Structure 1
Amino acid sequence: MRFNRMLLSTTLVVVALVVQVSVLARLHLPGAVPDLLLLTVLGLALVYGHVGGCLVGFGAGLLADLAPPADHAAGRYALVLCVIGYLAGLVKPESGQLRTATGPMAVVVGAAIGSTLLYAGVGALVGDTAARHVGLGGLLFSATLYDLLLAPFVVPAVMWLARRAENDPLAETGGASGKASDVASGWLSSGTGLRIGSQRGGFRMKASKARVARAGRIKGVKRL
């Protein structure tokens, strides 16, 4: 990943994690906690593609595993977000622009359900049965509802920032100036060529007129 991608992804992931842990987790909403980190990974994956989404998801999940108050094994959420980021990156629009909101909303619903099921499944493999006591159905419904409510405010903003970071103003300026200089040099060279050509043509015309006049004078002398 390029430096601007890494810098933006790290900043957005850290901000999302801080807001989720310090604000959203303390709202004590029924069911699941709104997953701002998941929505951030989805927005970046829809711009960077499956490889970038996989890397961002793994880094974001690992950071969430290590951030307090983590109560699960390290690497569990990293695996979940790695898979979700990879799958979300596969539906990245080829043009880079979203024409409708139906696609991203479907991605958010699938990611909310898939991440909850995958997290519960990995937990069951390591002996964590908390999902059974809380109720998997309620977790799925609340996670999907909360993520859908947050998605219109988070995913488009993250995608806009990611696309903005992809455009390097220095590169664009350099490219534009390079093209402008090429065009300018082309105009100058063509203009110079025309001037030189016109001068040469003028010299040729003058020389031919001089020859004709000289020939006329010679012929006139011979006639005389």
Structure 2
Amino acid sequence: MRVNRILLSVPLVVVALVIQVSVLARLHLPGAVPDLLLLTVLGLAMVYGHVGGALIGFGAGLLADLAPPADHAAGRYALVLCVIGYLAGLVKPETGQIKSATGPMTVVVGAAIGSTLLYAGVGALVGDTAARHVGLTGLLFSAALYDLLLAPFVVPGVMFLARRAENDPLGETGSGSKSSDISSGWLSAGTGLRIGGQRGGLKLRAAKSRATRAGRIKGVKRL
């Protein structure tokens, strides 16, 4: 991953985890807990792609596994968010711009349901049957509902910050990587064409100036 992606992802993940543990987990809402960490990973994955989404998801999940009060085996949520981040990164648009909110909201609902099922499935493999006692159906419904209500306030902001980080000229490693970068269209539209236009205008002016001077010299010779 690029340095600018790491510098942005780490603070966002840490802030999301702190808010989720210290605020959202203490609301004692019926069913699941609103997963702010999941929404942050989704927003980054839909900008950085499947590889970046998987790496960020694994790191965020591992941090959540180790953060108190952790009541499950370490690596369980890291596996869940790694898979979810990878799948969410696959829906990244080629142009880097999402024109409708339907796609991201569908991803949020699918990720909320998929992460709950995957978390419960991994727990069943290691002998954790807490999901059975709480009720898996209620967990799925509440997780999808809470995340869907929270998503408009989190996902667009995360994606906006991620795109701004991608548009940083200092983060470009070479001209060859701009074609696959999400901000390549903005860079070419915002700077490249203007610079090219200025250079073309300067060349055209220089050519006109030389032609004018040549005409004046010929006119002097004719006189």
TM-score by length of 2: 0.84
Deviates more, 1:132-141 or 1:193-202: 193-202
Q: CA deviation at 1:45?
A: 1.0
- Partner SS state of residue 127, structure 1: coil
Q: CA deviation at 1:82?
A: 0.7
Q: CA deviation at 1:202?
A: 2.5
For 2:183, the equivalent position in structure 1 comes to: none
Identity over aligned residues, as a percent?
75
- Partner SS state of residue 80, structure 1: helix
Q: CA deviation at 1:93?
A: 1.8
CA distance in 2 between partners of 1:10 and 1:176 (Å): 34
For 1:73, the equivalent position in structure 2 comes to: 73
- Partner SS state of residue 74, structure 1: coil
Amino acid at match of 2:199: D
- Partner SS state of residue 6, structure 1: helix
CA distance in 2 between partners of 1:66 and 1:191 (Å): 69
For 2:43, the equivalent position in structure 1 comes to: 43
1:193 matches 2:222: no
For 2:24, the equivalent position in structure 1 comes to: 24
CA distance in 2 between partners of 1:68 and 1:153 (Å): 26
- Partner SS state of residue 201, structure 1: helix
Q: Trace 1:48-59 onto structure 2 (pairs within 5 A).
A: 48-59=48-59
For 1:92, the equivalent position in structure 2 comes to: 92
Q: CA deviation at 1:185?
A: 4.2
Based on CA coordinates, which of the two structures has the bigger radius of gyration?
1
CA distance in 2 between partners of 1:188 and 1:199 (Å): 16
For 1:157, the equivalent position in structure 2 comes to: 157
CA distance in 2 between partners of 1:122 and 1:21 (Å): 22
Amino acid at match of 1:123: G
1:132 matches 2:132: yes
Q: CA deviation at 1:138?
A: 1.2
CA distance in 1 between partners of 2:109 and 2:168 (Å): 33
Deviates more, 1:16-25 or 1:175-184: 175-184
CA distance in 2 between partners of 1:174 and 1:45 (Å): 27
Amino acid at match of 1:92: K
Amino acid at match of 1:131: A
For 1:112, the equivalent position in structure 2 comes to: 112
Q: CA deviation at 1:199?
A: 3.7
Amino acid at match of 2:222: M
Amino acid at match of 1:114: G
For 1:103, the equivalent position in structure 2 comes to: 103
- 1:105-143 CA-to-partner distances (Å, cap 9, x unmatched) read 111110001000001111111111111111111111111
1:11 matches 2:28: no
Amino acid at match of 1:50: H
Deviates more, 1:63-72 or 1:106-115: 63-72
TM-score by length of 1: 0.83
CA distance in 2 between partners of 1:64 and 1:194 (Å): 70
CA distance in 2 between partners of 1:165 and 1:27 (Å): 33
Give unmatched runs, 5+ long, in structure 1. Answer: 207-224
